[in-house]
Amino acid sequence: MNAIATIEPATTSIALVVEQTPVVVLTDKAQRETFYEHIQREVDAFEPDLTTEKGRKAIKSLAYKITRTKTAIDDAGKLLNEEARARINAVDAERRVVKEKLTALAAEVRAPLTKWEEDEEQRITDCRAVIDGIKAAAVVTIEDTAASVRTRGGEVWNTAIDADRFGDMAAEANAAKEMAVATLKSALARLTKEEADRVELDRLRAEAAEREERDRQEREAREAEERAAAEAKAAEDRRIADERAAEERRVAAEKAEAARIERAKQEAAAAEQRKAQEEQAKRDREHAEQIAAERRRAEEAERVAQAERDRIAAEEAERQAEAKRLADEQAARDADKKHRTAVMKAAKEAIMTCGVDEEAAKKIVLLIRSGEVPNVSLRF
């Protein structure tokens, strides 16, 4: 360990010098400076290449050789301390100098690679964030609307996948983008139809409510007319009864007068009585005809009222049938949706039995349902 060897910087490798006489770097200043110059020349002559895997490995190799040399010298210094405790302080000082210089030199040599590795790590992190964001955007929840899905679909569609930046992650990014676009297109079509169906159902309900209100108003108006007609008829019946009573009183008076006149003038009374009887018969006929006409008008009014009631009943039956048809159609759509959900859930759980996680299984089922997987379909 105490032997001193002459370093040949131009021909002797760093590893060989360290392996043969690492202690010389600590015990001979001139040899040490020569040794530093030898390492510096090798470093200066080295041209780092970050564009190829071979170039990056060469950087690692040179930095490792220098670090290994540092370690060998450090170990030799430790051995010197064990052999000669009296020189430990001087050796420790030199050790620190060597460590600092070679650490700094190794860091200097590796700096381009370190920078490249940091940039590469950041690139991968950024690309992964973009991919994860695309995948997250493809998840459609119950809170989503056609507008929110359309907005996310536009954002995913406008996400640029630069092949140079994404490198070996470009295929994954493009696949995630295609899947997200397909999923969001399918969801947009479904949500758009559902929202249109809801709007149409609301419109039909509003029309039905408006029709019911109109029917109510017409029914109330008709009932008011019927009450008015009934009251008018009652008033007319009272008028007729009053007229009949008055007529009877008048007839009685005329008969009494006729009897009196008859006593005075029997022939004239007899003629007057016949005339009065003829006039009474005429009035009776006119009165009977008037009563018959009133009866016919009442019967005609009742017939018209019954026809209107029949029409209203028919419209109500038609309205109820239409409401039942809409309810049946909605129930059928709900049952079909529930059935499709159950079939897709069963398919997802079957795929998960093969070791696929739930999220991936769900996406596979959605791809199959949207027809994106050739020759594979779901049977509902």
Instruction: Tell me whether residue 138 is in a domain.
Output: no
Instruction: Give residue-wise pLDDT tens across range 169-213.
Output: 889 889 988 998 888 898 888 888 888 888 888 888 888 888 888
Instruction: Give residue-wise pLDDT tens across range 51-94.
Output: 899 989 988 988 888 888 888 888 877 877 777 666 656 666 77
**HSE-up of residue 304 (Cα within 13 Å, Cβ side):** 11
Residues 205, 114 share a domain: no
Residues 331, 233 share a domain: yes
Cα(215)–Cα(281) distance, integer angstroms: 50
- Range with the lowest mean pLDDT among 67-76, 252-261, 312-321, 355-364? 252-261
Instruction: Give residue-wise pLDDT tens across range 309-337.
Output: 888 888 888 989 998 999 889 988 888 88
Cα(241)–Cα(291) distance, integer angstroms: 11
- How many structural domains are present in the chain? 2
Q: At which of 109, 133, 157 does a domain end? A: 133
338: containing domain: 171-369
Instruction: Tell me whether residue 103 is in a domain.
Output: yes
Instruction: Tell me whether residue 144 is in a domain.
Output: no
Instruction: Tell me whether residue 319 is in a domain.
Output: yes
Q: At which of 70, 104, 133 does a domain end? A: 133
Residues 190, 294 share a domain: yes
The whole-number pLDDT of residue 179 equals 92
Question: Is a pLDDT exceeding 60 seen at residue 1?
Answer: no
Residues 236, 93 share a domain: no
Residues 183, 129 share a domain: no
pTM: 0.35
Instruction: Tell me whether residue 113 is in a domain.
Output: yes
Question: Is a pLDDT exceeding 50 seen at residue 5?
Answer: no
Residues 25, 79 share a domain: yes
Task: Find the mean pLDDT for residues 96-120.
Answer: 83
Name the phi and psi angles at 365, rounded to 5: -65, -40
Which amino acid is located at 292 in the chain?
A: A
The whole-number pLDDT of residue 85 equals 65
**148 and 138 in contact (C-beta within 8 Å)?**
no
Residues 112, 189 share a domain: no
Instruction: Tell me whether residue 163 is in a domain.
Output: no
Instruction: Tell me whether residue 234 is in a domain.
Output: yes
Q: At which of 110, 133, 156 does a domain end? A: 133
Residues 192, 127 share a domain: no
Instruction: Tell me whether residue 150 is in a domain.
Output: no
Instruction: Give residue-wise pLDDT tens across range 140-168.
Output: 888 888 888 898 888 889 888 888 888 88
Residues 226, 128 share a domain: no
Residues 325, 206 share a domain: yes
The whole-number pLDDT of residue 7 equals 36
